[in-house]
Structure 1
Amino acid sequence: AMTWLLLRQGINDRLSLGMPKDALFAHKTGNSAGTFHDAGIAWTAWGERVLVVLTDGVAAPDARALMKDLGYWAYVLPAPVAAARSGP
């Protein structure tokens, strides 16, 4: 029930701007004087990604641009491949 509610978030001018229009991104935004936030779970081809961005003292247009870029890269980049280890 909570996931469904977060998938229906009406404010989509931050992390989700960098994702495809049909992306599944359950998130919650927040802001107050001089702060802009977005946090949620994106379902990608590489699995679930948890994204949390909290800003303070950043102008709204700059915060939104940063979040758009972070949302894009978090959505499109594959998960890192763990390097094989032969020891500790």
Structure 2
Amino acid sequence: MPFIYSVAAHVSDSKLFAEAGAGWAGERMRSLGASSVTANQVVMGGEMAGQVLVAFEVDTADAAMALNAAIYGDDDLVGLLRDAG
């Protein structure tokens, strides 16, 4: 059974975030252990409108924890979070 590790975040530069996600960042997440990565922006969601929801599919709960650590250990991904956030 796959597991989903998800994040809800405010992204001030959604264009930068989307372009990176469709290119290098999506590939990087898969190289770090995600079997799939999906990002969606909430359009009509009350106080959640504008939030970006990112879901990473992994094989185990331990893989989700390892992916989280790997994301924050990757200078390029941390830079994307800083620059787009």
Normalised to the residue count of structure 2, the TM-score between the two structures is 0.30
Larger Rg: 1 or 2?
1
Where relative contact order (Cα < 8 A, 6+ residues apart) is larger, the structure is 2
More strand by share: 1
